[in-house]
Copies of this chain bind each other. A is one copy, B any other.
Amino acid sequence: MSLEEAIAVCTDLINFNLDEDTVPISSCRGRVAATNVIALGDVPPFDRSRVDGYAVTAQDFHDICSGSAADYEIIGVIAAGGSSVLKLRPGTAVRIMTGAPLPFGAAAVIKQEYAVTTGNKVQLTARLGQKTWCESCGSILKKGQEMNVAGEVLDESIMELLISSGVDKIRVFRRPRVCIISTGTELVMPGQPSSYGHIYNSNFSMLTAKLENEGCEVIQGRGDINDSLADISHEVQKAVNSADLVIITGGASEGDFDLVPAALIKTGCKILCGQLEMKPGTHTTIAAKGSVLVFNLPGNPGGGSILFEVIIAPVLRKLKGMRNFNRAWFNIRLSETYKNHNAVRLFCRGQLIDSINGLEAMPLKRAGRIKGIAPLVLDIAPGKGQKGDIAQALLV
């Protein structure tokens, strides 16, 4: 099965939405909006000045721009946060601050840099076609207008708009609960004593980091399950009962002790995918128990990390309720050769770099730390991977 087919099989199965919560606007960052939101007020909520200066009438603004500079009588001052009963008439001006409401009759504000005051008189100048520096009530958003945010991750720019329109709480989808478990008789958890033949489980920290980044609630199951069908089945059963999605690392290959696929069947899971046409991840098994998806990743954190980004992340995004769950892959030239000699697509880590040829991707053959602009995952087609070849890339 191709990567794209596997994503489609999984996302098609997610034909439901998680429960909803109502959260204060100040703590909604990273959550997915469950509904569109109606603006409670106009943004801005009144006609206001965008600069510090002098408000004038439409006729006077026209005259000033035409070059007939004249003295205007200052009839008052309006500060931001102030309100005013001042009425502008031709020949008068009101001193006004950035963000302050315009006085009645105002059509434009002349910036203070173009004003010379003498007592209560001000001489104003402007060039033809000068901006009015006024912002109309509701010009950004109108009261009652529906903001099309359902299924979007609430980031700071959406939050800013919601807050400005008077919204102080919002309906969001519950965070997905994701259970992680690791199998392998060789595994020891960090902080525990280790003996010959054993290694520390470094998958939990990698997966926890990625899951938290995706806004999930992480349930850490057992990280040192022995290669025993009974033990694995027991932990899988517990995991599918407690989580919306389960990730199992290890036991995924075709060795004599790679028992996860058998444990999935024993637990009553339906196998959706037994093999992926890609490296790493050829032996990735994807299964489902009811609506709970189960992913069996390689025990090697390097491979597991790539599979998380390319297949689990879009599935999780659908589960979270995101309208656009597909990731933004883009084309990029390779700065160095990493030849794909396989018959299937090769995925690897990379770095976005700034070269004399523009932005390029440097493939990383080993887990190493190379300074670049940003980390990538690269998708190199069979036979491709020469320096200068185009690969597909994902910012991670």
Q: Which residues of A contact B (CB under 8 A)?
A: 24-26, 29, 41, 44-46, 52, 77, 79-83, 95, 97-101, 112, 155-161, 163-164, 166-168, 184-187, 190-191, 194-202, 204-206, 208-210, 212, 226-227, 253-258, 299, 301, 305, 324, 328, 330-333, 352, 354, 358-359, 367, 369, 371-374, 395
Cα separation A205 to B331 with both chains bound (whole Å): 34
> Are B158 and A256 in contact, CB atoms less than 8 angstroms apart?
no
Given the known interface contacts A204-B26, A205-B26, A367-B160, the answer about A79 and B324 at a Cβ–Cβ threshold of 8 Å is no
- A342: min CB distance to chain B, Å: 13
Q: A186: which B residues are within 8 A, CB to CB?
A: 80-82, 99-100
- A160: min CB distance to chain B, Å: 4
Contacts A79-B185, A100-B186 known; list 10 others, CB within 8 Å. A24-B190, A79-B256, A80-B227, A81-B186, A83-B195, A97-B255, A156-B205, A156-B305, A160-B206, A328-B373
Cα separation A367 to B156 with both chains bound (whole Å): 11
Of the listed residues A190, A196, A324, the one surrounded by the most CB atoms of chain B closer than 10 A to its CB is: A190
Of the listed residues A80, A95, A208, the one surrounded by the most CB atoms of chain B closer than 10 A to its CB is: A80
Main secondary structure of the interface of A (DSSP, over half): loop
Q: A206: which B residues are within 8 A, CB to CB?
A: 156, 159-160
Q: List 22 A-B contacts (CB under 8 A).
A: A25-B190, A25-B191, A26-B208, A45-B194, A45-B196, A52-B253, A52-B255, A52-B258, A77-B256, A80-B197, A81-B187, A82-B186, A83-B196, A155-B209, A156-B205, A161-B367, A163-B190, A166-B194, A331-B354, A333-B358, A358-B359, A374-B395
- A79: min CB distance to chain B, Å: 5
Q: Nearest 8 CB-CB pairs, A to B?
A: A81-B185, A81-B186, A52-B255, A330-B354, A168-B191, A97-B255, A163-B202, A80-B186
